[in-house]
């Protein structure tokens, strides 16, 4: 059941209505867990077995700690992390590792037929595996008490708005909310609906529309010139943002209608002034997860510069691998790490140069230039992210320099421009005038309602309403 | 004034959204409907003409290859029957069945139907074109006008019915075409849309390999058979026809369509690689004849049809297979 389907809208309305009609909080949670498992089983009932395994293992591990920092607890932690990672490694990476071994053996002149498993990737497995690992680590580090109520814990892992693609919730933030009874509040429902509507807008009007052009041009890149490929790269950069930020907003909004606050996942990432800042604004729940459970345990920045750079590169290599089982994703992650290392290593040098030309850090010119450079770097790296293999990366890179008029599909470009301009204005306002309350957030009731309906009709007229998949479902 | 309870506020809010949405949907939908119905040029004008006004005796059905390859005036001059080209870009058997059934439902039954067949009329299409979605998207503004078109739209199930309740939804992604069809004159000649430009002289005839993993779309075959039945029941002379390609290939879908033609005693006019047309100067690209090619091709087809329909000779020129 995709978020951008009529089935989901009906499902959500029914769930919210019944949820608030149930007076007892425990029964509410049983109901929510039931519908969450139903929601997840819509993809494939068999996937539930993995979800149960991850839930029970992490729940049991946390209860099994003595919480005295003993070696036993450490062994338990390591064992549980390895076991929790097993389904993920098996379903997502088995073929990749198998092919990689085959490639390496071929390199040393030994050709063998490696087995191919072609396992179906369970939706959301990367997300709930990370949630459960985060939980067992947090309990081990005594940042959070072990949850004794299996119902609450199962709901924390399986809560339907976030199960398919996050946000990757944290126990200290979400578990206490599950224990409270949330009364029906107009503000929660209104805020949740507005977030969802905006999520649908960015996904259906901007993201999916851009996707048509991107797939047409990148899918046939050898026949397109530089201007078309640059335009496709730009549109893919917008598409992936809209696709995932849209998804996250729908998830957060759906939870909000029932009174739950999920972690904010995006903060206008393309206004970042460097790649490091980009990652503090992009997929925040994942970035902070990697920060807390990979980067900091490796030593973080409280070590020598060289070690810090290495930690950064390792973290982004893992992040690349998390995104997909392919060399292109690993290189994509590696390049993101390298760009940040170069940025950090040259910052004093660059500051001196800026000082010589008497342009200070806060000048508009420098900010805009940094935003632009960051956007260009990130866009190029997104192209690598999109590419199926390195020959495609090289092919597109070479053809960036082939001159010619861009391929323009009038309908696609027309609707994309409309959606993109609305998105740009909203993000500019949120970034630079955060205190202003306009349109959907106006103080005037009439303006709020009319804006809501206007946005709804922009979606109906300009959106791709066929129920296309979300890019991040692949991860 | 007493303070509203939270559930009352939520209900009132929802009610307000529903009422405003309904009013906007009906008002804006009405404006779009006007723009659609009054289209003067392009695809919407042609579609509206086919669905409501055409009383032509020869119909040409098909995709862009039909729209760009058949010059109705040549057929009218040669055979002495009025002719209209209903071909439309990216459409397959669903759309063609919808168009033909509108003629039958309103009683303006044509005498001859030339169906330009393509592989995509029989195999599964994964893209946005040549499938049910493409037909639904194009015919959505005409929901409620003809039973057979409605049944096509409802093939997608109850969810499509829910969506089609909205008048505005029917015009999803159609704003650009509506502007073009109302304000930008587009030359056409009884549905024929000329394309210009030609392949370079040095373009060689390539052998295209069969696409792998082609799967027969059973639902498309059902609609192909429905179209055949509709023609038989209404005494419409149906021809399957394949216009020229500047490439050599075979395909699973075409094989199946040839079998269907044979089984139903439908003449299959195969000009796919007829040698007289295998000249780059007649083609805009491998799959489409240019204006010069279309005029030449239409002349040949019309004269053969005249012999078949009027003179009924024994065909010996090798073009009929």
pLDDT tens figures, B263-299 = 999 999 999 999 999 999 999 999 999 999 999 999 9
Q: Would you call A323 a catalytic residue per the annotation?
A: yes
Give the per-residue pLDDT at A171. Answer: 95
The phi and psi torsions of A29 (rounded to 5 degrees) equal -70, -40
Instruction: Name the closest residue on chain B to residue A451, using Cα atoms.
Output: B17
Contact between B133 and A189 using a beta-carbon 8 Å cutoff: no
Which residues of chain A have a Cβ shorter than 8 Å from any chain B Cβ? Answer: 5-7, 20, 183-186, 189-190, 212, 410-411, 414-415, 449-450, 452-453, 456-457, 460-466
Contact between A461 and B172 using a beta-carbon 8 Å cutoff: yes
Contact between B20 and A20 using a beta-carbon 8 Å cutoff: no
Number of folded domains that form chain B: 1
Question: Of B284, B286, B238, B319, which Cα lies nearest the Cα of B62?
Answer: B238
Instruction: Name the closest residue on chain B to residue A449, using Cα atoms.
Output: B17
Q: Which helix (H) or strand (E) holds B289?
A: strand B288-289
Contact between B133 and A466 using a beta-carbon 8 Å cutoff: yes
Res. A201: pLDDT tops 50: yes
Number of A/B CB contacts below 8 angstroms equals: 63
Question: Of A434, A451, A433, which Cα lies nearest the Cα of A442?
Answer: A451
B59: domain CATH number is 3.40.50.1110
Res. B223: pLDDT tops 50: yes
Mutate to test the interface with A, among B11, B15, B20 (most CBs of A within 10 A): B20
Contacting residues for A127 by C-beta, under 8 A, at least 6 apart: A162, A163, A164, A165, A166, A168
Q: Give CA–CA dist B90/B81, Å, rounded.
A: 27
Q: Which residues of B touch A9 (CB under 8 A)?
A: none
Question: Of B247, B241, B261, B237, which Cα lies nearest the Cα of B320?
Answer: B241
Q: What is the pTM of this model?
A: 0.90
Mutate to test the interface with A, among B157, B165, B176, B181 (most CBs of A within 10 A): B176
pLDDT in tens, A15-53: 999 999 999 999 999 999 999 999 999 999 999 999 999
Contact between A453 and B9 using a beta-carbon 8 Å cutoff: no
Contact between B6 and A466 using a beta-carbon 8 Å cutoff: no
Q: How far is A205 from chain B (nearest CA, A)?
A: 10
Q: Which residues of B touch A184 (CB under 8 A)?
A: 6-7, 10
- Longest Cα pair distance anywhere in chain B, in angstroms? 92
> Is residue B79 in some structural domain?
yes
Contact between B171 and A186 using a beta-carbon 8 Å cutoff: no
Q: Give the residue ranges of DSSP H helices in A263-409.
A: 275-281, 284-290, 305-323, 327-345, 347-356, 364-386, 390-399
Contact between A457 and B28 using a beta-carbon 8 Å cutoff: yes
Res. B319: pLDDT tops 60: no
Contact between B173 and A415 using a beta-carbon 8 Å cutoff: yes
DSSP state of B192: B
Contact between B13 and A6 using a beta-carbon 8 Å cutoff: no
Count CA atoms within 13 Å of residue A260 on its CB side: 27
Percentage of the residues of chain B whose pLDDT score is greater than 70: 95
Q: Which residues of B touch A190 (CB under 8 A)?
A: 13
Contact between A54 and A128 under an 8 Å Cβ cutoff? The reply is: yes
Which has more confidence, A117 or A260? A260
Q: Which residues of A touch B172 (CB under 8 A)?
A: 460-463, 465
Res. B311: pLDDT tops 80: no
> Is residue B320 in some structural domain?
no
Which residues of chain B have a Cβ shorter than 8 Å from any chain A Cβ? Answer: 6-7, 9-10, 13, 16-17, 20-21, 24-25, 28, 128, 133, 159, 162-163, 166, 168-169, 171-173, 175-177
What beta strand segments (E) does A37-98 contain? none
Give the per-residue pLDDT at A164. Answer: 92
Give the per-residue pLDDT at B317. Answer: 42
Report in angstroms the alpha-carbon separations of B250 from A220, B24, B119. 23, 51, 9
Using the structure block, give the residue that is written with the tokens 């106006």: A442
Of A5, A185, A452, the CB nearest to B17: A452
Residue A212, Cα to own-chain centre: how many angstroms?
Answer: 21
CB atoms within 10 A of CB B82: 17
ipTM of this predicted structure: 0.86
Contact between B24 and A415 using a beta-carbon 8 Å cutoff: no
Contacting residues for A226 by C-beta, under 8 A, at least 6 apart: A399, A400, A401, A402, A403, A404
Q: Using a CB cutoff of 8 Å and minimum separation of 24, what contacts does A40-47 make?
A: A40/A123, A40/A124, A40/A158, A40/A160, A40/A163, A40/A164, A42/A1, A43/A1, A43/A122, A43/A123, A44/A120, A44/A122, A44/A123, A47/A122, A47/A123, A47/A125
* Angle (CA) B303 B305 B307, round 5°: 75
Contact between A264 and A253 under an 8 Å Cβ cutoff? The reply is: no
CB atoms within 10 A of CB B95: 29
Q: Which residues of A touch B20 (CB under 8 A)?
A: 449-450, 453
Of B7, B133, B172, the CB nearest to A460: B172
Question: Of A455, A379, A374, which Cα lies nearest the Cα of A214?
Answer: A379
Question: Of B49, B43, B48, B28, which Cα lies nearest the Cα of B171?
Answer: B28
pLDDT in tens, A313-372: 999 999 999 998 899 999 999 999 999 999 999 999 999 999 999 888 889 999 999 999
Q: How far is B171 from chain A (nearest CA, A)?
A: 7
Q: Which residues of B touch A186 (CB under 8 A)?
A: 6, 9-10, 13
Give the per-residue pLDDT at B314. Answer: 40
> Is residue B82 in some structural domain?
yes
Which residue segment(s) compose the domain that B46 sits in?
24-202+214-311
> Per the residue annotation, which of A224, A283, A323, A336 is the catalytic one?
A323
Structure tokens at A328: 């292109």
Instruction: Name the closest residue on chain A to residue B22, using Cα atoms.
Output: A453
Contact between A415 and B17 using a beta-carbon 8 Å cutoff: no
Using the structure block, give the residue that is written with the tokens 């296309």: A468
Instruction: Name the closest residue on chain A to residue B32, using Cα atoms.
Output: A461
Q: Give CA–CA dist B173/B180, Å, rounded.
A: 13
Q: Give CA–CA dist A410/A331, Å, rounded.
A: 35
Give the per-residue pLDDT at A103. Answer: 84
Of A5, A186, A461, the CB nearest to B168: A461
Q: Give CA–CA dist A95/B287, Å, rounded.
A: 39
Lowest mean pLDDT among A275-284, B145-154, B248-257: B248-257
Contact between B13 and A464 using a beta-carbon 8 Å cutoff: no
Mean pLDDT across B180-199: 91
Backbone φ/ψ region at B203: left (φ over 0), alpha (ψ -120 to 50), beta: beta
> Is residue B12 in some structural domain?
no
Give the per-residue pLDDT at A120. Answer: 85
Using the structure block, give the residue that is written with the tokens 């007229």: A461
Of A449, A462, A464, the CB nearest to B20: A449
DSSP state of A219: T
Question: Of B67, B97, B37, which Cα lies nearest the Cα of B226?
Answer: B97
Q: Is the peptide bond before A215 cis (omega within 30 degrees of 0)?
A: no
Mutate to test the interface with B, among A2, A213, A419, A461 (most CBs of B within 10 A): A461
pLDDT band (50, 70, 90) for residue B204: confident
> Is residue B11 in some structural domain?
no
Contact between A190 and B13 using a beta-carbon 8 Å cutoff: yes
Res. A454: pLDDT tops 60: yes
Q: Give CA–CA dist A117/A112, Å, rounded.
A: 16
Instruction: Name the closest residue on chain B to residue A468, using Cα atoms.
Output: B128
Q: Give CA–CA dist A294/A319, Å, rounded.
A: 10
């Amino acid at each position: 059941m995709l978020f951008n389907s009529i089935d989901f809208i009906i499902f959500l309305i029914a769930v919210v209505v019944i949820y608030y009609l149930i007076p007892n909080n425990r029964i509410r949670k049983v109901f929510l867990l039931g519908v969450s498992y139903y929601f997840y089983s819509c993809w494939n009932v068999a996937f539930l077995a993995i979800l149960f395994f991850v839930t029970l293992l992490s729940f049991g591990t946390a209860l099994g700690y003595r919480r005295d920092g003993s070696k036993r607890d450490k062994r338990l932690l390591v064992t549980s992390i390895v076991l929790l990672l097993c389904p993920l490694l098996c379903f997502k990476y088995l073929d990749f590792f198998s092919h990689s071994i085959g490639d390496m053996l071929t390199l040393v002149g030994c050709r063998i037929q490696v087995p191919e498993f072609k396992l179906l990737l369970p939706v959301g497995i990367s997300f709930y595996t990370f949630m459960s690992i985060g939980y067992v680590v947090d309990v081990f580090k005594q940042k959070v008490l072990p949850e004794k109520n299996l119902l609450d814990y199962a709901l924390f892992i399986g809560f339907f708005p976030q199960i398919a693609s996050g946000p990757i919730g944290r126990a200290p933030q979400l578990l206490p909310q599950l224990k409270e009874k949330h009364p029906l509040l107009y503000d929660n429902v209104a805020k949740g609906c507005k977030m969802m509507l905006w999520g649908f807008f960015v996904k259906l009007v901007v993201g999916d529309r851009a996707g048509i052009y991107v797939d047409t041009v990148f899918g046939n890149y050898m026949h397109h010139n530089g201007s078309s490929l640059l335009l496709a790269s730009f549109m893919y950069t917008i598409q992936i943002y809209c696709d995932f930020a849209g998804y996250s907003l729908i998830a957060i909004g759906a939870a909000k209608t029932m009174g739950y606050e999920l972690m904010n996942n995006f903060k206008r990432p393309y206004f970042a002034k460097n790649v490091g800042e980009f990652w503090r604004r992009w997929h925040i729940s994942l970035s902070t997860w990697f920060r807390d459970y990979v980067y900091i345990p490796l030593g973080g920045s409280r070590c020598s510069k060289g070690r810090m750079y290495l930690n950064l590169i390792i973290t982004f290599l893992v992040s690349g691998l998390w995104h997909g089982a392919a060399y292109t994703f690993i290189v994509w992650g590696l390049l993101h790490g390298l760009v940040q290392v170069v940025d950090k290593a040259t910052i004093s040098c660059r500051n001196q140069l800026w000082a010589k030309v008497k342009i200070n850090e806060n000048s508009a010119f420098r900010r805009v230039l940094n935003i632009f450079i960051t956007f260009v770097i990130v866009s190029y790296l997104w192209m690598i992210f999109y590419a199926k293999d390195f020959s495609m990366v090289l092919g597109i890179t070479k053809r960036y320099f082939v001159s010619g008029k861009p391929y323009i599909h009038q309908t696609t470009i027309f609707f994309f421009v409309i959606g993109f301009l609305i998105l740009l204005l909203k993000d500019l306002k949120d970034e630079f005038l955060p205190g202003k309350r306009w349109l959907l957030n106006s103080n005037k009731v009439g303006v709020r309602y009319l804006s809501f309906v206007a946005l709804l009709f922009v979606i109906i007229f300009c959106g791709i309403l066929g129920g296309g998949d979300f890019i991040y479902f692949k991860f | 004034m007493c303070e509203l309870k939270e559930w009352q506020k939520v209900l009132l809010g929802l009610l307000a959204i529903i009422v405003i949405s309904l009013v906007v949907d009906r008002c804006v939908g009405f404006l779009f409907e006007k723009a659609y119905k009054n289209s003067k040029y392009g695809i919407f004008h042609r579609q509206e003409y086919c669905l409501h006004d055409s009383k032509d005796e020869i119909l040409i059905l098909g995709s862009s290859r039909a729209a760009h390859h058949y010059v109705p005036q040549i057929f009218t001059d040669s055979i002495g029957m009025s002719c209209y080209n209903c071909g439309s870009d990216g459409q397959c058997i669903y759309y063609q069945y919808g168009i033909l059934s509108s003629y039958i439902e309103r009683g303006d039954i044509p005498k001859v139907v030339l169906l330009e067949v393509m592989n995509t009329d029989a195999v599964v299409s994964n893209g946005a074109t040549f499938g049910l979605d493409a037909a639904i998207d194009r015919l959505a503004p005409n929901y409620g006008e003809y039973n057979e078109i409605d049944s096509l739209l409802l093939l997608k199930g109850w969810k499509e019915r829910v969506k089609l309740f909205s008048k505005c939804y029917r015009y999803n992604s159609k704003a650009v075409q509506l502007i073009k069809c109302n304000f930008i004159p587009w030359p056409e000649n009884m549905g024929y849309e000329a394309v210009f430009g030609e392949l370079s002289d040095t373009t060689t005839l390539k052998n295209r390999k069969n696409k792998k993993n082609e799967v027969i779309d059973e639902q498309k075959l059902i609609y192909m058979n429905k179209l055949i039945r509709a023609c038989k029941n209404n005494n419409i002379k149906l021809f399957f026809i394949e216009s020229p390609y500047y490439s050599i290939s075979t395909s699973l879908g075409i094989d199946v369509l040839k079998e269907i033609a044979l089984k139903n005693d439908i003449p299959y006019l195969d000009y796919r690689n007829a040698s007289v047309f295998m000249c780059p100067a007649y083609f805009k690209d491998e799959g489409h004849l240019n204006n010069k090619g279309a005029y030449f091709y239409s002349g040949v087809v019309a004269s053969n049809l005249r012999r078949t329909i009027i003179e009924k000779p024994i065909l010996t020129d090798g073009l009929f297979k």
